[in-house]
Structure 1
Amino acid sequence: MQICQNPNCSNPFNLDGNRFCTSCGSNSFGVLFKNRYRINRLLGEGGFGKTYEARDIDRLDAPCVIKQFVPQVQGTGALKKAAEMFKEEARRLFELGENHPQIPRLVAYFEQGLNLYLVQEFISGETLSEELQQHTFSEIQIRELLADLLPILQFIHDRNVIHRDIKPENIIRRAYDRKLVLIDFGGAKQVTQTTLARQGTGIYTIGYAPLEQMQGYAYPASDLYALGATCARLLTRCLPLQDAYGNLADTLYDVNEARWLWRERLKEQGLSISNDLGHILDKLLKHFVKERYQTAAEVLQDLQNTTSSVPPTIPIFSQSTANAQAYNFWGLDKVQRQDYQGAITDFNQALQINPSYIEAWSNRGNVYFQMGKYDAALADFDRVLSINPNFVEAIQGREKIIAMQRHHTPVQSQPQFQQAAFAYALSGHSQLVRSVAFSRNYPTLISSSNDKTIRTWNLQTRKVQGVLYETGLWVVAAIAPNGQTLVSGSSDKTIKVWHLGASKPQRVLRGHFDLINSLSISPNGQILVSGSRDKTIRIWQLETGNLQQTLPAQSGFVYTTAISPDGKFLVSAGSDKAIKIWQLDNGELLRTITDNPAFVRAVAISSVRQIIASGGYGATINLWNFYTGQLQQRLEGHNGLIQSLIVTPDGQTLISGSGDRTIKIWSLQTGKLLQTLTGHTASVLALDISPDGQTLASAGEDKTIRIWQAS
């Protein structure tokens, strides 16, 4: 293919035999477009333009896709509308692709002549439509497809984007890791509460789109309908066909009865699927919007509840070293231009391809260091050294950070809390007490109970100051650093934000679809983290109640969450036996610790000792290195489940509560048991320590709160 070199040429792509450009008449040809892109072949064309496969010589000849905007519409208004859609696709691709590995990344966007162009990452692999020509999809493959695609849809829907064209042709199985990638956001729609109720442009594919979308309305549930239609067609191999006159022939859908016939087609083919998956497909394909699943998370929950006996069958393929090196190179290029966030994105891509790529780990650590994110940098350097203990750059980077931390961390000659004596008990709850929390405005303490109340105690008078009433059982609560804002969660699946002086919640946060197990508030009081039995972790802006992020679905119930004292990291754990360490500001999963023998009920963090303490099933407390995930020590002494853990404010002492009805105090420096506290007559479910490190509160199944003073 010849490329017209006239910088103002609207359509520079010419056949090899042309002497003059068919668009501008110029006779100046070359092999590169914009002096950068080598065009390999035409991938496709439609009403708005053409798509080419190309190579980007400025990025180590990396493969890419160039979309040329040549709208086949008449009239100024129609042209303007089409151009706006194309620009919106570029903007959407940039925002989504930079933040999700299964959405193509935007490389460039520019204008030439009267046309617009965008360049995006080329996804090497086959579309599901191409796969369908080779084989029918089994139930296991459909389940795997749903498990892979639903988190992508939840991601875009959480950002108020509706794809509007889910179909096999727009889903590619990426060659190097077999992950599904969602492409073609050209018809996607940015949605607000205002636009949800307003009719828009009808963009859809017949045979996949629901009725409301064909009438100009689109909702997240519309994408879920199209996903259900995609699954039904992959199972049955029944695709919608249009003749030259636009007439549709579809053996899978009865237009007269508005009914899907996938069960009949499967029966004719001698095939069947489980009732569980059938129920999911039926609900995805409901005719009316309100009868369908409303969120991808709801579908994923039903899917996870029925897949315990279905073994994974997606094979693990070897990673492309060349692609990883390319991303690492691009990251270094962005570092030179001080585009640190862009560099981190590229290093992340390299590490996703090759998790053992130590140069990418080290380079990302250096960028975090430049950004002042020293804990994240230290974690990356530790990861390098766990692969190659002699990697000089990581050793030097780690030494710099540790030297800085030693310089800024005050040294305490004596830990705050090593011995304690019982002071008094607080009674008033009629059911077990699930959580206790000190306010920074000591001497205020809050407690929550399965009696559906949250009580505020004045520890000077030892009396209740106020009572707030929850609407569900299994009540957990936390108090913000300002001492006035309180949050609670329960089995009613909501989180309530209260002001201590009011009798009704200021706002109710909805999003979870099962009971709330854990609530954590960041040290600056701005971020709320909730963990639920629905297997999700959600991050909220506490002041506004806005949902900032939903972390990828866990494989088990989330029992516990903890935020590091510096507010940079989040640790979570639960029934899947894994401890996960996240970067709180962007939700990046930094490390997973999988060596726990069974479920984890409680975690606590000591930044000073660089330790995560965990406990749950069994009587052992495990101490893990925060940055490497390596087990450092086991603390033995309890005779029952570890139900609660807390680290003193100075980071030197760990306190544990157990099903054996005791509280134990441990030195994190030596691992030595310092003291055992007795007095509770049932499991100790909750612990907290006052900001000055001098007062301990404990509570549990015996319905009482016991107060202990340092001695």
Structure 2
Amino acid sequence: MNRFSQKVSNFHDDILQETQLGQMCGSKLLFRDRYEILRILGRGGFGVTFLAKNMSLPGNPLCVIKQLCPKVTKPKSWQRACVRFEKEAKTLGKLGTHSQIPMLLDYFETNGEFYLVQEYVRGLTIAREIRKNGSKNEAQVKQFLRELLPVLQYIHKNGVIHRDIKPHNLLRCDDDGRLVLIDFGAVKEELVKNSDGESKSATTNFVGTMGFAPPEQFSLRPVYASDIYAVGVTSLFLLTGKAPLEFDYDADTGEISWQTEVQISEHFAQVLTKMVKISLEERYKTAEDVMWDLGMESYLPTLSKCMTSQRLRATGDSNSEENPEGYISPVTRTAIAIREWREKLKQIQFKPPKPKI
């Protein structure tokens, strides 16, 4: 038994025997005449991930090879799957220019299976980080959101929904400490759409992870706000160390009952509550909205002194008693905007639920 296969659990034994890359693990045989397969990194419902060396490049850099296994045998389905795979791979290639997304190095199809070759990021997943060091405090989770939300903003602006954000798909890079988002579900979903299965049920075609995915994703209708929900649930995991299915849920609304598990500021609690709302109408629509609310918190103490109980008129009416000069200073205008924002946030927070039909 070679030194790599000794580290592989029995859970992976079938992969070593049944897949071409598994049989090449630890040997000197080269896949596509360039990749030396070292070991299995992980497996899921849509394929297997291997660590490899590119022996054709100077220094033999490490890379990750993802073997996707679509359930396709019909010729027409296969043709559609090939087109979809190439399209989504090119999208990943474009996204990989961001420093917090692994770079796509190559993609190809061979022997009825699809392969993605990506940059290898050395580091621990957030899930392992929590298991190792324990849960994080409010300041640390806010910093986590400040790192992740701009990445979310970037992929959404490029028309991509990640679909599988969770602690296991977030890496803290050992080299420079950056947070890296991995394992996009978009390619998986496109391959599932072209499978030969006749069932159209959500359980058959669902792409995501139970607990981190919101209801609309189970209905196969993910939107940008679906990723925001997953980030919110991930934040709860960071604060508590508890997986989403370990929380209690409100029997009437289906909302996660997490508030009693943590001690955080009222404002941050409001932000997290809105991130994990079941209703799309009540949830944040964009990453920018979350970033704005997080950023506004630091201004609230300073501007609270500017918050008068009566709103100043902004019409420039020289006869106005509240504003006889018809002029509102920048600080006062900002205070008015903050007050309106807080009122809007309260209205959304305490909006009565729609009656059940």
TM-score normalised by structure 2 residue count: 0.69
Deviation, structure 1 residue 278: 0.5
Deviation, structure 1 residue 115: 2.2
The aligned counterpart of 1:284 is 275
Q: Residues 472-483 of structure 1: matches in 2 within 5 Å? A: none
Instruction: Tell me whether 1:227 sits opposite 2:227 in the alignment.
Output: no
CA contact (8 A) 1:221 1:295 kept: yes
Deviation, structure 1 residue 52: 0.4
Deviation, structure 1 residue 83: 5.0
Amino acid at match of 1:282: T
CA contact (8 A) 2:52 2:62 kept: yes
Amino acid at match of 1:62: P
After superposition, the C-alpha distances for 1:547-573 in whole angstroms (9 at most, x for unaligned) are xxxxxxxxxxxxxxxxxxxxxxxxxxx
- Supply the distance in 2 between the matched residues of 1:75 and 1:188 (Cα, whole angstroms): 18
Q: Residues 18-37 of structure 1: matches in 2 within 5 Å? A: 30-37=28-35
Amino acid at match of 1:11: Q
After superposition, the C-alpha distances for 1:606-646 in whole angstroms (9 at most, x for unaligned) are xxxxxxxxxxxxxxxxxxxxxxxxxxxxxxxxxxxxxxxxx
SS in 2 for 1:120: strand
CA contact (8 A) 1:161 1:190 kept: no
Deviation, structure 1 residue 123: 1.0
User: In structure 2, do the counterparts of structure 1 residues 69 and 300 end up closer, same or farther at CA, with 3 Å as the change threshold?
Assistant: same
- Supply the distance in 2 between the matched residues of 1:173 and 1:33 (Cα, whole angstroms): 29
Deviation, structure 1 residue 32: 2.1
CA contact (8 A) 1:163 1:189 kept: no
Deviation, structure 1 residue 120: 0.4
CA contact (8 A) 2:47 2:66 kept: yes
CA contact (8 A) 2:188 2:207 kept: no
User: In structure 2, do the counterparts of structure 1 residues 121 and 252 end up closer, same or farther at CA, with 3 Å as the change threshold?
Assistant: farther
Instruction: Tell me whether 1:11 sits opposite 2:20 in the alignment.
Output: yes
CA contact (8 A) 1:53 1:65 kept: yes
- Supply the distance in 1 between the matched residues of 2:236 and 2:115 (Cα, whole angstroms): 35
The aligned counterpart of 1:469 is none
Structure 1: which 5+ residue stretches go unaligned? 3-8, 18-28, 192-198, 241-248, 267-271, 310-449, 452-472, 475-490, 492-513, 516-711
After superposition, the C-alpha distances for 1:34-62 in whole angstroms (9 at most, x for unaligned) are 22222111011223221101122333222
After superposition, the C-alpha distances for 1:92-125 in whole angstroms (9 at most, x for unaligned) are 2101012x11111011112332222121001111
User: In structure 2, do the counterparts of structure 1 residues 261 and 119 end up closer, same or farther at CA, with 3 Å as the change threshold?
Assistant: same
CA contact (8 A) 2:163 2:227 kept: yes
Aligned identity (percent) is: 38
The aligned counterpart of 2:354 is none
Structure 2: which 5+ residue stretches go unaligned? 5-17, 191-200, 301-314, 317-326, 339-357
User: In structure 2, do the counterparts of structure 1 residues 218 and 51 end up closer, same or farther at CA, with 3 Å as the change threshold?
Assistant: same
User: In structure 2, do the counterparts of structure 1 residues 127 and 178 end up closer, same or farther at CA, with 3 Å as the change threshold?
Assistant: same
TM-score normalised by structure 1 residue count: 0.36
Amino acid at match of 2:49: T
- Supply the distance in 1 between the matched residues of 2:54 and 2:248 (Cα, whole angstroms): 43
CA contact (8 A) 2:107 2:115 kept: yes
Query: Alignment length, in residue pairs?
Result: 278
Q: Residues 635-650 of structure 1: matches in 2 within 5 Å? A: none
- Supply the distance in 2 between the matched residues of 1:103 and 1:227 (Cα, whole angstroms): 16
User: In structure 2, do the counterparts of structure 1 residues 78 and 260 end up closer, same or farther at CA, with 3 Å as the change threshold?
Assistant: farther
Deviation, structure 1 residue 81: 6.2
SS in 2 for 1:153: helix
Instruction: Tell me whether 1:50 sits opposite 2:54 in the alignment.
Output: no
Amino acid at match of 1:296: A
Amino acid at match of 2:277: K
User: In structure 2, do the counterparts of structure 1 residues 35 and 283 end up closer, same or farther at CA, with 3 Å as the change threshold?
Assistant: same
The aligned counterpart of 2:208 is 204
After superposition, the C-alpha distances for 1:215-241 in whole angstroms (9 at most, x for unaligned) are 11111111111111111122111114x
Instruction: Tell me whether 1:274 sits opposite 2:258 in the alignment.
Output: no
Q: Report the structure number with the largest CA radius of gyration.
A: 1
User: In structure 2, do the counterparts of structure 1 residues 209 and 78 end up closer, same or farther at CA, with 3 Å as the change threshold?
Assistant: farther
- Supply the distance in 1 between the matched residues of 2:187 and 2:284 (Cα, whole angstroms): 20
- Supply the distance in 2 between the matched residues of 1:224 and 1:136 (Cα, whole angstroms): 21
SS in 2 for 1:118: strand
Query: Normalized per residue, which structure has more strand?
Result: 1
Amino acid at match of 2:52: A
SS in 2 for 1:156: helix
- Supply the distance in 2 between the matched residues of 1:252 and 1:174 (Cα, whole angstroms): 33
Deviation, structure 1 residue 30: 4.1
Amino acid at match of 2:93: F
CA contact (8 A) 2:24 2:37 kept: no
User: In structure 2, do the counterparts of structure 1 residues 260 and 80 end up closer, same or farther at CA, with 3 Å as the change threshold?
Assistant: farther
User: In structure 2, do the counterparts of structure 1 residues 88 and 169 end up closer, same or farther at CA, with 3 Å as the change threshold?
Assistant: farther
Amino acid at match of 1:263: Q
Deviation, structure 1 residue 146: 0.4
Instruction: Tell me whether 1:218 sits opposite 2:209 in the alignment.
Output: no
Deviation, structure 1 residue 202: 3.2
The aligned counterpart of 1:157 is 156
The aligned counterpart of 1:114 is 112
After superposition, the C-alpha distances for 1:463-509 in whole angstroms (9 at most, x for unaligned) are xxxxxxxxxx99xxxxxxxxxxxxxxxx9xxxxxxxxxxxxxxxxxx
Instruction: Tell me whether 1:166 sits opposite 2:162 in the alignment.
Output: no
CA contact (8 A) 1:92 1:185 kept: no
Amino acid at match of 1:286: K
SS in 1 for 2:43: strand
The aligned counterpart of 1:131 is 129
Amino acid at match of 1:273: I
After superposition, the C-alpha distances for 1:312-340 in whole angstroms (9 at most, x for unaligned) are xxxxxxxxxxxxxxxxxxxxxxxxxxxxx
Cα-Cα RMSD: 3.4
SS in 2 for 1:289: coil
After superposition, the C-alpha distances for 1:629-666 in whole angstroms (9 at most, x for unaligned) are xxxxxxxxxxxxxxxxxxxxxxxxxxxxxxxxxxxxxx
- Supply the distance in 1 between the matched residues of 2:114 and 2:99 (Cα, whole angstroms): 26
Query: Normalized per residue, which structure has more helix?
Result: 2
CA contact (8 A) 1:161 1:188 kept: no
- Supply the distance in 2 between the matched residues of 1:149 and 1:188 (Cα, whole angstroms): 21
- Supply the distance in 2 between the matched residues of 1:260 and 1:236 (Cα, whole angstroms): 13
Instruction: Tell me whether 1:297 sits opposite 2:269 in the alignment.
Output: no
CA contact (8 A) 2:21 2:37 kept: no
The counterpart of 2:246, out of the listed 229, 247, 250, is 250
